[in-house]
Copies of this chain bind each other. A is one copy, B any other.
Amino acid sequence: MTEQTTFGREDYRHFRPIQTRWMDNDVYGHVNNVNYYSYFDTAVNGYLIEEGVLDMHDGAVIGLVVETHCNYRQSLAFPEPVEAGLRVARVGSSSVRYEIGLFKEGHAEPAAQGHFVHVYVDRENRRPTPLPDDLRTVVNKLLVA
């Protein structure tokens, strides 16, 4: 296991609510490890769509996921609501490293934290492309020093 700094709520730049689902719980009665990544995916892409910089149907540039990671600290379970904190740790010429913390309501410490690296590519040829300016502006709003 990788040693990791724990990030609290104050370390994130934007929060989004995540709704758990009945079938997220597995045989042990808690959200299955796989579903945490659907929360990451939904939080990051939801933010980008809301900010108007990701058009999944017609955009010339799409984000491909090249690396994901999660550390699980406390179990989550349907029907509890979850809050996803977002921050950007690095913006490269064609990639962005998003960091996500999942928090139980009212908790200061994360139930899970992880990251998610997008490489932005041309929709047609799927080759890396420089971040469009509007996307760069939006991800920079989440960038931590």
What residues of B have a CB within 8 angstroms of the CB of A65 in the complex? Answer: 33, 72
Central interface residue in A18, A22, A57, A64, by most chain B CB within 10 Å = A22
Does A71 interact with chain B (Cβ within 8 Å)? Answer: yes
B66 touches A68 (CB 8 A): no
What residues of B have a CB within 8 angstroms of the CB of A35 in the complex? Answer: 23, 34
Asked, given contacts A34-B37, A78-B42, whether A117 binds B22 with beta carbons under 8 Å apart, the answer is no
Does A21 interact with chain B (Cβ within 8 Å)? Answer: yes
A41 touches B57 (CB 8 A): no
A124 → chain B closest CB, angstroms: 12
What residues of B have a CB within 8 angstroms of the CB of A62 in the complex? Answer: 28
